[in-house]
Structure 1
């Protein structure tokens, strides 16, 4: 951003948000921990936006996922399987009726402006894979209309940009330890180098985190995570170099979704088990057999060149590598022919068997078995032990889906000011390769445990997806007196190719190009403290490579998803009061939905493979109102509130929904009330959030509290010790959090969870 453009801005980015005291991270408090206003100069924005401040970060423990810090912002609902964000499978983000969950990726996500590579479970990675909460500066949220320079293929309903802290100028070391409910432990260390070369600063950090699932005990699963980050900033003349490397290695055992009836019967059990019975039909629900393993490495180097006071160029090459696995333990083996291919029944489904004789040969159940025996979880018939003789041996599979992805790309932009015009132009280019294959391993002895043969007995499929992405954009920001007009155009050019390593006839490719997309906005500076704004944008999400996975998807008939977003609002920044009110209307077209194939079971279909299809099924209309306000009572007390009224309805009819029906898992009503206190070395915060009904799921109210105290030392050696206590869901509310996209099953919200962090600075 040019210096002249900066001086033209009458309000800071903090002012343009609805957050009072939008000071960022550690800069938000002075040495005595009283509330201090900090202005961060930025461009004027003609669309709704909010920024996470330090109080929202304080409300969450360092062991918590960085996603959780956004939950109090208007329009946003964050749901994770536990209070620590220890399971990607059960994580969802909903904003204005748009979702990131197991089936949908409709919201863009970047880290320091670098694209995250998609937020989907298979091959994607959310921001918590790239950034520790200790190293988070803020999150920039654009509801509805995304920043034109945002590098994302998912930004239908807005964007999230997670910003990492810069290195400090003074050398220091931080060591922290967190302990908490459900066997939670976290070790963290960060070393600030100080000035290691002329105008060059850096830090390196490492964390080791482990938790158990809050459901059950003993062998109930959990999460183990190793995470490391390195960042440097160097200013040399007119050049500024910023480099960052993050590495994340995590193994998570999943939470399971439940029906409304199951929740009412047992609101603290997700139907997974923690005792091995030796009966595969029960042990398919063994928690440690439902797992997500992921390893992510992301690196970038940003080069910023200030040609003059009004012109600068920026280019950021980056590299990302993702690999991992998803596990399940089906209660049967697949019957193979002499060629090693699955034997198919008359419906085209793989034939399975659950018991074998002493020689390992498949056994058939007794003729009347299906009629006489049933299970609480049906994933096939004829699997009850009573259907077989006493010498029958139960068999079981350990199913692995392997994911691997490599991305290489760069973002580049140029900015200049000519008279009343602030001009911006940029491109984003990325090439990626994603591999996915699924293999089945024989459990060595299902009567003993789920130890499995490392050599798979059947590989179900193997595909490679190559994708090239190019985005270009232009924007002119015209400032005349108290009026600012934004005019922008952008376009996405996306090519995807699938290579089927087993059946070349199933190779496919699709061009997922957008039209030229327009955006415009008007901002009026009513007075030094008040802005009125209105914005319109055409947003786009490309066809995902997952569409090509499905053999029956008709690619010639699938269109990319688009959305038209309109915002009207007002921002006020006074001496003690900050306020933002936004009314919005969104028309979402050509929604792509997965239509599952018919199944011959009533439960989990482990063999679904590449069957099923994707279709465009109408769209969604969303209208609503968002309000956020904060009031600074004095130097110590601050109050914050947000309110969301959202109405998201389906347009058109398709399997699973009808025209006019509320969008599945969308939230109509939300509100937040919070209070934060800073006095000397003491801080305290309390926050209550109401989330309305979501289809069949009842509304709920959750309260979190946090308490912290810093002990400062003089002299050499240790500088300070900070104690931070966080209690999530203080009143132990039983509730259903996020849904699974079908309107009938949901994940259970986490119970009361407590954590204590001791942080020492040297």
Structure 2
């Protein structure tokens, strides 16, 4: 944080030369300008703050502390001063899709110049879709059902996500839910480090890089921002933020915001309803001291879109939405032999108490409530010693709903005679078949803190720190009653449950996981030759202890795992001249096994539970190497990076067939993988009001091991073998991606177009099924009106998403070893398993009115 603030001082000096360029239509200062150097007239306190004067030393040692806010700025356009509003400067490279950096590794970012012009409901993952290597998919126009992302062929569960310095991946399976994180209006920067985490990044799942998100700071003057949105599929959303300005005769300032959005499903029945609140308090004083508190609260009620297999997509496309009662199972066929099950690709609009009723859309809800709180603070203890402290707390409670058709007289129960036990609903036995509500319920408590001391002496900077976290995650999956109309008696699923004859609640899973993380780290950065040469080296040592309790009968009750992992890193950056620089970095990253690998769960039979525990898994280890070149001047910013990864113990979920001929899942280490590729991006400041941006990636990711499979042979017997996956292209790793964006902004008017091309992606390790390449295009346009009363920057804008209305599979939800029958290395003929996919969102028009006040 100490050195980042001084990057801004140099950046401001560099940017001041932009005024002399005849191609630059607007006066320019860097979009990363900090608030620390506030003019004396804005200071409410008598004691004036000093300007920060530390050297501009790039580093990969740490980035948990949030950046400061951009000052309110005005732009000179055609001789008139115009306030662009909402943090948009009109100057950032590539329309806000690129920022200058001296980091000795690959880093890309989007800023308010881009964010402020997009659909305000977009989540952070959607906002970085054009950056190099970012393969982003969504399922709805407003991003309320989340989305998925891979970077350089590594999925979002292999990446670490932080907001204001604290981790927001699920501590159990490391999933990320981008719709819950932060409102775009309060989002200052989203920073993507494609290759590696920083030393102080608080993650145990970042084998493929990190995404750091920073909120804007409260403004120094009282005011705020409001916007209203309406669009396709009855989408509505409102947002309001109030900034207090400086509070009394202090340096404290705060903002409080609230948003609420709703939309109908674009295919099939269902809707999303999201309520979201945020606050941030900042107090800075003296020379570099700062305390901030950020709190985010989210409540989401929505219905899910189903994942589908290729056979269903080819037959039904986006699905047949049945408009009349009794047509719930249109076109549904069962699996037969090597053919996967084929079913409608939307959930049923109407309910029936049959097996088809389990696909009733009201049983596929996803209610969730979560609260994030973080207090990143910086204290300048001496002229050479800085303490940074980031305590945080994460709470979440909710589920992913599902339907289940079950004869309660034959409720599966481990240890009962013939594996059968009478089930009771509300104390009444029921011998008939019923549709039940069977959500997967999770409750998480997650406190932690990252502490670090940074000592500087001349050209040397030493950082020593410690990350500690202790989390408790309770996960259950009870069966519960539904109303006569098919809706759950309780959407949360924590009451009206099926109770078995022995008095226990019937559960699909029932676990408690406690995770302790201890991670000391140390790093040193040396700046030589007048800061033209910077050398970084560091080490963190991650100690993770997991204690699990499985409350299901006949399952292993207690399990404990301990992991110890040393993670060294090193980097060199050299400035050839004031415009050109090169860098080389190497880092070690890892991802813990997911917590569900510790437990048996699911339905019970003579062969045991349908999901098998695999507690002996080793962490997934990646060694990443990068070499890059950057050219940065007043008009152009560009970079190109070569990268190489080596993976060991790749973790993935495998579906197999047990000795009883029943399908079951487990988690395995899938051996090795390596990848090579090139990332590149280039953007400009305004050239006659135009700011183009282009990104590119070439990726060659290859599986290095033959993987084990089990399944049925042609005679119907269960067999096991290895298949020849060695040398095949890894799943979810498109060979090429191209991003293009162009922004026109003359002050009153703005217009933008962006395009993303993603090459085909294999969905199996055997490369026998894939999703085709696709192109997605979006347009934004708007007009800034003159000041109207208290509204300082009234703006009207229109966002058109997926303008060609292309219908395509955007994400591989569950890669498999193989989709079709193959002959193994030892001659066994083994059947495959169908991968599943998600359908990308269609064309949508979103109109927004907004203004600062």
TM-score tier, shorter chain, comes to 0.7 to 0.9
Shift in alpha-carbon separation, 1:285–1:345, aligned structure 2, 3 A: farther
Q: Deviations over 1:687-722 (max 9, x none)?
A: 0111110122111111100012121226x5332321
For residue 92 of structure 1, what is the aligned residue in structure 2? 148
For the pair 1:247 / 2:297, whether they are aligned, the reply is yes
Q: Deviations over 1:343-366 (max 9, x none)?
A: 8898x7x7999xx9xx98646xxx
For the pair 1:704 / 2:757, whether they are aligned, the reply is no
Correspondence 1:370-449 to 2 at 5 A: 395-445=434-484, 448-449=485-486
Of 134, 159, 172, which aligns to 1:76?
A: 134
For residue 549 of structure 2, what is the aligned residue in structure 1? 499
Residues 56 and 70, structure 1, Cα contact 8 Å, conserved in 2: no
For the pair 1:677 / 2:736, whether they are aligned, the reply is no
Residues 165 and 376, structure 2, Cα contact 8 Å, conserved in 1: no
Cα drift, residue 46 of structure 1: 1.5
For the pair 1:228 / 2:277, whether they are aligned, the reply is yes
Of 178, 182, 186, which aligns to 2:237?
A: 186
Of 820, 839, 842, which aligns to 1:751?
A: 842
Shift in alpha-carbon separation, 1:311–1:560, aligned structure 2, 3 A: same
Which whole-Å CA distance do the structure 2 matches of 1:293 and 1:450 have between them? 14
Residues 632-641 or 322-331, more deviating: 632-641
- The normalised TM-score by structure 1 is 0.85
For residue 734 of structure 1, what is the aligned residue in structure 2? 807
Cα drift, residue 44 of structure 1: 3.9
Shift in alpha-carbon separation, 1:652–1:8, aligned structure 2, 3 A: same
Residues 79 and 92, structure 1, Cα contact 8 Å, conserved in 2: yes
Cα drift, residue 502 of structure 1: 4.2
Q: Deviations over 1:576-620 (max 9, x none)?
A: 211110010001111122233538999xx9xx9xx6432212022
Residues 514 and 560, structure 1, Cα contact 8 Å, conserved in 2: no
Cα drift, residue 265 of structure 1: 3.2
- The normalised TM-score by structure 2 is 0.76
Residues 642 and 673, structure 1, Cα contact 8 Å, conserved in 2: yes
Q: Aligned to 1:157, what secondary structure does the other structure show?
A: coil
Shift in alpha-carbon separation, 1:601–1:265, aligned structure 2, 3 A: farther
Residues 414 and 554, structure 2, Cα contact 8 Å, conserved in 1: no
Q: Deviations over 1:544-573 (max 9, x none)?
A: 322212368675642111100000101111
Of 582, 595, 604, which aligns to 1:545?
A: 595
Of 386, 389, 409, which aligns to 1:312?
A: 386
Cα drift, residue 267 of structure 1: 2.7
Which whole-Å CA distance do the structure 1 matches of 2:753 and 2:547 have between them? 50
Which whole-Å CA distance do the structure 2 matches of 1:316 and 1:561 have between them? 27
Structure 2 runs not aligned, ≥5 long:
16-27, 33-68, 76-81, 320-343, 499-504, 602-610, 710-722, 763-769, 817-834
Which whole-Å CA distance do the structure 1 matches of 2:705 and 2:733 have between them? 17
Which whole-Å CA distance do the structure 2 matches of 1:470 and 1:43 have between them? 31
Q: Aligned to 1:144, what secondary structure does the other structure show?
A: coil
For the pair 1:579 / 2:630, whether they are aligned, the reply is no
Q: Deviations over 1:710-761 (max 9, x none)?
A: 21226x5332321121010011111110011225321111110111111133
Cα drift, residue 543 of structure 1: 2.7
Q: Aligned to 1:291, what secondary structure does the other structure show?
A: coil
Cα drift, residue 277 of structure 1: 4.7
Residues 174 and 760, structure 1, Cα contact 8 Å, conserved in 2: yes
Which whole-Å CA distance do the structure 2 matches of 1:569 and 1:681 have between them? 38
Residues 48 and 142, structure 1, Cα contact 8 Å, conserved in 2: yes
Cα drift, residue 676 of structure 1: 0.1
For the pair 1:592 / 2:651, whether they are aligned, the reply is yes
Q: Aligned to 2:311, what secondary structure does the other structure show?
A: helix
Correspondence 1:617-636 to 2 at 5 A: 617-632=670-685, 634-636=687-689
For residue 487 of structure 2, what is the aligned residue in structure 1? 450
For residue 391 of structure 1, what is the aligned residue in structure 2? none
Which whole-Å CA distance do the structure 2 matches of 1:463 and 1:296 have between them? 20
Which whole-Å CA distance do the structure 2 matches of 1:725 and 1:75 have between them? 27
Cα drift, residue 95 of structure 1: 0.4
Of 226, 242, 258, which aligns to 1:206?
A: 258
Greater RCO between the two (CA within 8 Å, min separation 6)? 1
For residue 375 of structure 2, what is the aligned residue in structure 1? 301
Shift in alpha-carbon separation, 1:27–1:96, aligned structure 2, 3 A: farther
Q: Deviations over 1:313-353 (max 9, x none)?
A: 1112111111111211123344457xx9468898x7x7999
Cα drift, residue 450 of structure 1: 3.4
Q: Deviations over 1:196-252 (max 9, x none)?
A: 140111000001111111103xxx112111100110110233531101111001112
Shift in alpha-carbon separation, 1:29–1:304, aligned structure 2, 3 A: closer
Cα drift, residue 119 of structure 1: 7.2
Of 13, 31, 35, which aligns to 1:23?
A: 31
Which whole-Å CA distance do the structure 2 matches of 1:712 and 1:112 have between them? 34
Residues 112 and 187, structure 2, Cα contact 8 Å, conserved in 1: no
For the pair 1:135 / 2:186, whether they are aligned, the reply is yes
Residues 30-39 or 633-642, more deviating: 30-39
Residues 250-259 or 276-285, more deviating: 276-285
Residues 315 and 410, structure 1, Cα contact 8 Å, conserved in 2: yes
Correspondence 1:450-489 to 2 at 5 A: 450-452=487-489, 454-457=495-498, 458-460=505-507, 461-481=509-529, 482-489=532-539
Q: Aligned to 1:262, what secondary structure does the other structure show?
A: helix
Shift in alpha-carbon separation, 1:67–1:3, aligned structure 2, 3 A: closer
Residues 123 and 405, structure 1, Cα contact 8 Å, conserved in 2: no
For residue 162 of structure 1, what is the aligned residue in structure 2? 213
Q: Deviations over 1:414-456 (max 9, x none)?
A: 11211221111211101000001111123354xx433548421
Q: Aligned to 2:468, what secondary structure does the other structure show?
A: strand
Cα drift, residue 283 of structure 1: 2.7
Which whole-Å CA distance do the structure 1 matches of 2:679 and 2:383 have between them? 37
Q: Aligned to 1:596, what secondary structure does the other structure show?
A: strand
Cα drift, residue 261 of structure 1: 3.4
Shift in alpha-carbon separation, 1:405–1:500, aligned structure 2, 3 A: same
For residue 664 of structure 1, what is the aligned residue in structure 2? 731
For the pair 1:535 / 2:585, whether they are aligned, the reply is yes
Residues 595 and 655, structure 1, Cα contact 8 Å, conserved in 2: no
Cα drift, residue 26 of structure 1: 6.7
Which whole-Å CA distance do the structure 1 matches of 2:202 and 2:678 have between them? 27
Residues 4 and 310, structure 1, Cα contact 8 Å, conserved in 2: no
Cα drift, residue 469 of structure 1: 0.4
Q: Aligned to 1:488, what secondary structure does the other structure show?
A: strand
For the pair 1:326 / 2:373, whether they are aligned, the reply is no
Cα drift, residue 674 of structure 1: 1.3
For residue 35 of structure 1, what is the aligned residue in structure 2? 90
Shift in alpha-carbon separation, 1:12–1:432, aligned structure 2, 3 A: farther
Which whole-Å CA distance do the structure 2 matches of 1:4 and 1:633 have between them? 25
For residue 46 of structure 1, what is the aligned residue in structure 2? 104
Residues 351 and 360, structure 2, Cα contact 8 Å, conserved in 1: no
Residues 550 and 599, structure 2, Cα contact 8 Å, conserved in 1: no
